[in-house]
Amino acid sequence: MSWQQAVKIATGGIGGSEYSGHEYNTIDKALQCSAIDILSLHGYMTQASQWAAYVPKLADQAAAQGKKVMVEEWGVGTDSSYD
């Protein structure tokens, strides 16, 4: 295996979250880019349950394009009303 095949290319921190009030940025473009192997996700949700829906959906989209997803940063709200 050559080094070009062994080295995987990640996006760096793709930010944005796919819910109201936040920008969903560049993920569609990264999914289509043949030079990218791994989507490195940075995201901050209000509630943990939003992550439970978002990450599997993105992982499925990435897998359909032959890519992996790596969550590098994540956060959730800490208000007692959040799940």
pLDDT value at residue 65: 95
pLDDT value at residue 17: 57
SS3 category, 80: coil
Structural domains in the chain (count): 1
Q: Are 40 and 10 in contact (CB under 8 A)?
A: yes
Residues of the domain holding 71? 32-77
Tokens representing 78 are 């800490």
Q: Dump pLDDT digits (tens) for 34-79.
A: 999 998 887 777 777 877 778 888 899 999 999 999 888 888 877 7
Does residue 5 sit within a domain? Answer: no
Does residue 60 sit within a domain? Answer: yes
Model-level pTM greater than 0.95? Answer: no
Q: Is the pLDDT of residue 11 over 90?
A: no
Does residue 21 sit within a domain? Answer: no
Does residue 42 sit within a domain? Answer: yes
pLDDT value at residue 67: 94
